[in-house]
Copies of this chain bind each other. A is one copy, B any other.
Amino acid sequence: MAFKNESLINTGELGRAMKRRREELGLSLRDVADVTGVSASTLSRIENGTGKPDADNIARLTNWLDMPVDRVLNKQGGSDEVEAVVYYPHEPTPEIVEAHLRADKNLTPETAKALSELFRVAYSQFSKPRD
């Protein structure tokens, strides 16, 4: 059995995934904090691999990342073979699109909202089951 002293939390994986996703979306730590409910200070520590996040925060972040939890909570001290796996959420949800738009410094908030709304309307139509 794996050593009982060693942690089963893959902090590195989570931290890198968080930083990558956040920068992909052009969001600040406080933006992510608002969305996920995890404070910016904790997010900073996670991205830098300091300490071990508690279960609730791991759940919140993997949830936001749309990432399997078992990639962070190592089952059976598993193999650390898989490095940079880019999972992209199923499809661009209105939330993701809105984040991108809001992060675009070249757009006014109003424009960002307009485009978000536009996408949301289209999305709600396109994603409906075909009649």
Which A53-72 residues sit within 8 Å CB-CB of chain B? 53-56, 58-60, 62-63, 68-70
Chain B nearest CB, measured from A28 CB (Å):
17
Please indicate the chain B residues that have their CB under 8 angstroms from the CB of A7 in the complex: 56
Taking the closest CB of chain B, its distance from the CB of A34, in whole angstroms, is 9
Instruction: Check: A41 CB closer than 8 A to any chain B CB.
Output: no
Cβ–Cβ contact B103 & A110, under 8 A:
yes
The B-contacting residues of A in range 72-122, CB under 8 angstroms, are 73-77, 85-88, 92, 94-95, 97-98, 100-101, 103-108, 110-111, 113-122
Q: Please give the distance in Å from A101's CB to the nearest CB on chain B.
A: 6
Which of B37, B55, B114 is the one whose CB lies under 8 Å from A55? B55
Q: Is A8 an interface residue (CB 8 A)?
A: yes
Q: Is the CB of A98 within 8 A of B86?
A: yes
Q: Known pairs A9-B59, A100-B108, A100-B111. 9 more at Cβ < 8 A?
A: A8-B55, A85-B120, A86-B94, A86-B117, A88-B113, A97-B117, A101-B110, A104-B111, A125-B126
Can you offer 5 A-B residue contacts whose CB atoms are under 8 A?
A: A9-B55, A97-B117, A100-B113, A104-B110, A107-B111
